[in-house]
Structure 1
Amino acid sequence: MSVVFRACTLTCVSLSLVLPALADESLPRRPQYVIISFDGAHELAQWQRSRTLAARTGAHFTYFLSCVFLLSRDTRNQYQAPGKSSGRSNVGFAQSKDEVRQRLAQIWLARAEGHDIASHACGHFDGKDWSKADWLNEFASFSRILRDAYKINGIEGEPEGWKKFAETGVSGFRVPYLSDGKALYAALSEAKFAYDASGVSRGPAEPQMVGGIMRFALPQIPEGPSSRPIIAMDYNLFVRHSGGIERKDTDAAFENRAYEAFRSAFEREYNGKRVPLEMGFHFTLMNGGAYWRALERFAGEVCVKADVKCVSYADYLADHHGIDGTKTGDVGG
């Protein structure tokens, strides 16, 4: 995975982030939504582990897929990023045809189980300087590679309905590095995406409809002894806890800090206004898998509550806004 993500840059903590929440008895007790997503969707073991967690807790997840993981070393030249030569990627490619085959099977199983497959673009390049045309080219690459993955890699057994899923079933997007901009949003609108989850907010925030696209934002939540805000994403915790250098979490200090931050953010909303809580993860196990263990503890406790809905972004749109999440247009091919 890439080692650059937008870090939290706030130098102070607002009182609204750190004061304990008080339940407002006058508020309707709507469900508490928790939206959990994974960027990259690479490692096969983590596909299975996440699906097992979902089955145990009743959760649905969003998987933001990087399409280069549907290309092997032999087929990597099928992808060319804007301004780059063909066969280049910031996060590599699959190691073999068989790895691609297994990943395609995991995607299809996850979809059948009600999970949301969304786009994380392809090569995990920082597109902050890309034009609208560049982004449309990247979206077209994603759509084509996903649609034709079986054919491109010479893999038999393409499921019936795969191409329709690739063309209309991927309705959401999260930009690599959370590096958004006007050109990206113009392209997303033209490509008929239903939602974008690239934003960052000061705390949990209701999604906003802008230009026909529902925009979601990962919140900054209090974390650690001084309750400094941090983006609710495993990589940001990794950088804060160990400077982005892998360390063994032998005393579970990293896991416990992450879990406590997740649980505190949840309790604030659950006992307050019940704004959706969004959380982001990767398939990379950082600091010995501390953040995945924290997620599993957290989800195992809260997702099973009767008045909590641990859902994908697509589920949230359908359940909370009446949007079915189907992509109504397709780019390139």
Structure 2
Amino acid sequence: MRSVRGAAVLVVVAVLAAIGFVVFAKGGDDKDSGASPAKNSGPGPNGGPGSESPSPSGPREGKPIGDGSTSDTGPQPNQPKAEKLKPGEKPPQFVIFSWDGAAEMEGVNLVSRFRKVARESNAYMTMFLSAIYVLPESKKALYTGPKHGPGASDIGFLYDKNERATLVQMRESWLEGDEIGTHFNGHFCGPKGGGSWSVEEWKKEIEQVYSFVQNWRTNSGWTDIPSLPFDYKKELIGGRAPCLEGQKNLMTASKEFGWRYDTSGPGGNQVWPKKVDGIWDLPLQSLPWPGSNKTQLSMDYNILMQQTNGKKDTPAAQLPALEQQATDFFIGGFERAYNSNRAPLVIGNHFETWNGGIYMNAVENTMRAVCKKDGVRCVSFRQYVDWLDAQDPGVIAKLQGLGVGQTPADWGTITGGSQAPVNPAGSAPYITPAARRD
């Protein structure tokens, strides 16, 4: 599918999953992140972190938009074609890998690492860029989050050299076919966070997302970095809210910007998604925990809480077993859907180095293990909703009727051409309402 690319506590803490931001920001306090940026502008794009990879499609400069921070370079390259299911055809097993924050840190270089893994695994990804990661700290007063003062942010701001590297990586990632979504801006949670914001306040937050991405050149003064090769007003069609808070008003606000999906829900099951007021609702999912009757949400932070109650410096002797368990968790969720209802597997993560990087290794292990299997498509959220919208609505409705672990005796009962009975559903675990984090 990806010819150009060759061919990572219990569920009640689910909404805490979005806290991985601290690894990226110089204002964070994650001592074991492996990221210790020095405060300087760093090398330029020809010598900076992540800039060693040539553009997969050449210069591709296109028509500058505004100050040249972004450019219209035409249709995104390396996109799979969304084809309607044929009568009797089994749907693909979609797997969606996504990354909250999506900053490239010097010395850690996880964006570039997973770009390489994805190329080698026939996979696409979604980068949920925190827009203030392309806003210099010297210009932080340009950002005013709802219910907060100018320049406030719960994730700090990047060092210049890491901001530059992030811009390079987002460009290359998009040219390879990945999606650039959003994790919004200041990552505010709790009493004054997204869960308390009105529709109008969410609109204000979204407008600032566009502004920072579309004006990074003016805000930074940098002229030696190529523009982002897309029109962000067209590219941005969805995101994930910090701490998974405020989805209802966010979805109402985002509809006015023409967005097509949201993945901010506090947890769902492995079933086919539905639209809410015209927008696809694609939450993280409850997956079976290896060797137990428990479930957990499909994100690195939730695995961390399940395994170590949030401890990020677990003794080295324990790490191989924890890495294997995390890998088994993701692959177990994959196998349950792959061998039954073919519901998409949604995996969310942060670029982090908790517990020696075992959760990054688990994501890589999973990507390499599943993405080249027969009938599997590892896609971005954009590519997935393109496929959903290309299907017959009646077929989608039948897919939505399949429960967790439910397998049709004949896929023709779903996609047409047969009236065979559908096998009973498997057990759909109850998801405890997610706790809110301040």
Does structure 1 residue 193 correspond to structure 2 residue 254?
no
Residue in 2 that maps onto 1:79: 143
1:85-131 Cα distance to aligned partner (Å, 9 max, x none): 111111110112x3222211111110000001001110111210111
* Equivalent of 1:68 in 132, 157, 165: 132
Residue in 2 that maps onto 1:39: 100
Q: Distance in 2 between matches of 1:91 and 1:160?
A: 25
- Contact 2:197 / 2:246 at 8 angstroms: preserved in 1? no
Structure 2 counterpart of 1:116, one-letter code: E
Q: Distance in 2 between matches of 1:277 and 1:131?
A: 31
- Contact 1:119 / 1:174 at 8 angstroms: preserved in 2? yes
Structure 1: gaps (5+ residues): 10-26, 324-333
Residue in 2 that maps onto 1:137: 204
* Equivalent of 2:112 in 26, 39, 48: 48
Residue in 2 that maps onto 1:317: 385
Matches within 5 A, 1:127-276: 127-157=194-224, 159=226, 162=229, 165-248=231-314, 249-251=316-318, 252-276=320-344
CA gap of 1:106–1:8, structure 2 versus 1, over 3 A, is closer
Which 10-residue stretch deviates more, 29-38 or 203-212?
A: 203-212
Q: CA deviation at 1:157?
A: 4.1
Q: Distance in 1 between matches of 2:169 and 2:373?
A: 27
1:7-42 Cα distance to aligned partner (Å, 9 max, x none): 159xxxxxxxxxxxxxxxxx7422111011011112
Q: Distance in 2 between matches of 1:245 and 1:161?
A: 37
TM-score, structure 1 as length reference: 0.85
- Contact 2:270 / 2:285 at 8 angstroms: preserved in 1? yes
- Contact 1:147 / 1:167 at 8 angstroms: preserved in 2? no
Q: CA deviation at 1:304?
A: 1.1
Secondary structure of 1:310 counterpart: strand
Q: Distance in 1 between matches of 2:103 and 2:153?
A: 14
CA gap of 1:159–1:212, structure 2 versus 1, over 3 A, is farther
Secondary structure of 1:217 counterpart: coil
Matches within 5 A, 1:4-15: 7-8=13-14
Residue in 1 that maps onto 2:42: none
Q: Distance in 1 between matches of 2:171 and 2:197?
A: 31
CA gap of 1:122–1:54, structure 2 versus 1, over 3 A, is same
Secondary structure of 1:92 counterpart: coil
Does structure 1 residue 297 correspond to structure 2 residue 360?
no
1:255-299 Cα distance to aligned partner (Å, 9 max, x none): 111111111111111111111111111011222111111111111
Q: CA deviation at 1:319?
A: 2.5
CA gap of 1:234–1:161, structure 2 versus 1, over 3 A, is closer
Structure 1 counterpart of 2:187, one-letter code: H
* Equivalent of 1:89 in 153, 159, 164: 153
Q: CA deviation at 1:191?
A: 2.1
Matches within 5 A, 1:93-132: 93-96=157-160, 98-126=161-189, 127-132=194-199
Residue in 1 that maps onto 2:346: 278
- Contact 1:58 / 1:304 at 8 angstroms: preserved in 2? yes
% same residue: 31
Q: CA RMSD in A?
A: 2.1
The count of residues paired between Structure 1 and Structure 2 equals 301
Matches within 5 A, 1:9-24: none
